[in-house]
Amino acid sequence: MDKPQVSAGAALLARLKSVGVDYIFANSGTDFPPIIEGLAEATAKDMPLPHALTIPHEHAAMGMAHGYYLATGQVQAVIAHTDVGLANCAIGALNAHVENVPILLFSGRTPTVEKDRFGARTVPIGWGQEMRDQTSLVREASKWDYELRFPEQVPDLVDRAHAIASSTPRGPVYVSLPREVLCEPCPSDGLDLPPRMRAHGAHAAPDEIAELARLIAQAEFPVIFAQHGAGNADGFAALDRIARDWAIPVCQYWANRLALATTHPMAAPADGGPLLARADLVICLDVLAPWMPAAHEPRADATVVQIGPNPLSQRTPIRNFRGDMVLASDTAPALLALERALGNHTPHAGVAARFEQVSASNAAARQATLAAAAPDDAQGMTKAQIARIVSDALQGQDATIFSELGCPMAPMQLDHAQAWYQEPHAGGLGWSLPAAMGFQLAAPDKLVLATMGDGTYMFANPVACHQIAEALNLPILILVLNNNEWGAVRQSVVGLYPDGYAAKANQVPLTGLAPCPDFTMVAQASRALAMKAEDHTQFAQCLQEALAHIRARKGAALIDVRTRP
């Protein structure tokens, strides 16, 4: 008796559901007929499927998959259109790769045959979109890649892609899908079975954790540098207790996830130079670049520990930070194991004195940061001032802030593991808006803010993003901190050439973005609430109106805020 069959396109979608994919973020093209027919076929046959969403730009699709993972820890899928759609995915793939965020990335491949096979080329772009090496567009950012060769491979390839993407160190994987292969029939039995292979984590050996605990117990002045958070809520709580009980300052230099509450007594300023100068034990917790080697180095007699899911950043060609002790482990399990191991030690007499000294120093630094962020009478607002007003308005609420050259961490009161995310170190701009939308999709009851500069807002393809937010009823708050320039570029130029010609010019070349578009009109085109704020009073009023709007789930809200350096 013949086995029941469905098209390979339907099999692919059904298998994605079986491995735990909730959403497929897709932008379709002429290679999509077997995918679209597969959706209809699987629906007609009552096969469980992920939600397939039309996302009108691939950069937004990648950002939403990224943000959904940050909210849930669950891997999602993106399907793009041949080489051109994959090219639009490349920036998002680079962001995900650097941040160890798993994404199942698929794209069509132009048919490999010209005739005599179902699914063969039917339009001229079938020739124009053929590449010698399509995967090269994302290979640098992919943990693993493959091209579907036969329809019966679908279940095993989905299982393998999901397991590899989800294994430590996590990251995106890529599979190309030739149209004529997706058109072929595939056995449908077993598509709903559990995955044939599972992802693996990484855990440091008990003796390594015990040795690290011994080093902490004996250290005169230990310090922790953290950039990518503490893994999850359990790791966040464990680091809170470790830092407090053992009086260890935590420096979140150029962090893009929160590892320790900004109000914690051991939350140190972002400048780690003074800490490095004193530390005899330096613990680098899931960091890419914990400090700038041109400016600071640890003491020669200090012990430097690298710990995290990819502690040597193996695919980064140049990264020569010391690693006297290197522990490969997922961050949260490592922190929980370390806390247990520290239970075998008693803090020495100097720990209490260190706590008093460090907490007093940190408190003074925080007060100075808050004072600098206080309102003034100058025209426009600083990013720090905007961040402080936002933080005050959100107190006591379950909120998550995405900052891409937007609201900085330091002036804000942030106290939980999902409170704050900054743009990936890959520098793929336009990330925060779609990432915030993906996070909001996964956590509809949370208050989600996307804060960004005017340039990064334009990079986000805002017309596409606003259309998605309206279509999916995602009530996010968008803050555009508008200074009519590439502020980060100007700061970089002046930092390298403080007395140069560019610094003395009325306008630093290649940084100006004037005349600025009216961003409120972009938002209003998709029926979002849109306002402008020129000063503190206006911004505070607009913020309260916007928060009331999104709490009522009336849709997205945007505030265009005039800023100054």
Kindly provide the b/e burial profile for residues 299-314, where b requires at least 16 CB atoms within 10 angstroms of the residue's own CB. Answer: eeebbbbbbbbbbebe
User: Which is it for strands 23-26 and 76-80: parallel, antiparallel or unpaired?
Assistant: parallel
Q: Are residues 237 and 265 in the same domain?
A: yes
**The domain boundary residue, chosen from 187, 218, 239:** 187
Residue 283 · residue 452 · CB < 8 Å: no
Q: Are residues 173 and 282 in the same domain?
A: no
Residue 404 · residue 487 · CB < 8 Å: no
Q: Are residues 62 and 164 in the same domain?
A: yes
pLDDT score of 336: 98
In whole angstroms, give the CA distance from residue 339 to residue 202: 17
- Alpha-helical (H) ranges within 414-475 are 432-442, 454-459, 462-471
Angle between helices 432-442 and 462-471 in degrees, nearest 10: 10
CB within 8 A of 77, min separation 6: which ones? 16, 21, 23, 24, 25, 50, 65, 103, 104, 105, 106
Is the Cα dihedral 23, 29, 34, 37 positive or negative?
Answer: positive
Q: C-alpha distances in angstroms, 255 versus 225, 368, 481? A: 9, 20, 20
For residue 65, what is the enclosing H or E element?
Answer: helix 58-72
Nearest partner of 83 among 138, 46, 123, judged by Cα: 138
Could you tell me if residue 317 is inside a domain? yes
Residue 142 · residue 113 · CB < 8 Å: no
Q: Are residues 522 and 552 in the same domain?
A: yes
Q: Are residues 426 and 512 in the same domain?
A: yes
Model confidence, pTM: 0.96
**The domain boundary residue, chosen from 366, 384, 408:** 366
pLDDT score of 1: 44
Residue 345 · residue 213 · CB < 8 Å: yes
Where in the sequence is the domain holding 143, given as residue range(s)? 5-187
Q: What is the CATH number of the domain that holds 137?
A: 3.40.50.970
422, β-bridge pairs: 403
Could you tell me if residue 201 is inside a domain? no
Q: Are residues 353 and 394 in the same domain?
A: no
Q: Are residues 449 and 494 in the same domain?
A: yes
- Alpha-helical (H) ranges within 183-258 are 206-218, 233-246
Q: Are residues 447 and 554 in the same domain?
A: yes
Could you tell me if residue 193 is inside a domain? no
pLDDT score of 364: 97
Residue spans of the chain under pLDDT 50: 1
Q: Are residues 361 and 377 in the same domain?
A: no
176, β-bridge pairs: 107, 147
User: Which is it for strands 173-178 and 145-147: parallel, antiparallel or unpaired?
Assistant: parallel
Could you tell me if residue 348 is inside a domain? yes
In whole angstroms, give the CA distance from residue 410 to residue 267: 10
Number of domains in the chain: 3
Chain segment 365-414, per-residue pLDDT in tens: 999 999 999 988 887 899 999 999 999 999 989 999 999 989 999 999 99
Angle between helices 233-246 and 331-342 in degrees, nearest 10: 40
Q: Are residues 241 and 153 in the same domain?
A: no
In whole angstroms, give the CA distance from residue 65 to residue 60: 9
Q: Are residues 411 and 524 in the same domain?
A: yes
Could you tell me if residue 194 is inside a domain? no
Residue 160 · residue 188 · CB < 8 Å: no
The number of helices, as runs of H, and strands, as runs of E, in the chain is 20, 20
User: Which is it for strands 5-7 and 23-26: parallel, antiparallel or unpaired?
Assistant: unpaired
Could you tell me if residue 153 is inside a domain? yes
Q: Are residues 166 and 279 in the same domain?
A: no
For residue 200, what is the enclosing H or E element?
Answer: none
3-state secondary structure of 517: coil
Nearest partner of 483 among 452, 506, 445, 446, judged by Cα: 452
Residue 78 · residue 68 · CB < 8 Å: no
Chain segment 447-476, per-residue pLDDT in tens: 999 999 999 999 999 999 999 999 999 999
Q: How far is CA 497 from the centre of its chain?
A: 31
Instruction: Indicate the residue type of 281.
Output: L
Could you tell me if residue 558 is inside a domain? yes
In whole angstroms, give the CA distance from residue 227 to residue 229: 6
User: Which is it for strands 303-308 and 222-226: parallel, antiparallel or unpaired?
Assistant: unpaired
Could you tell me if residue 305 is inside a domain? yes
**The domain boundary residue, chosen from 318, 337, 366:** 366
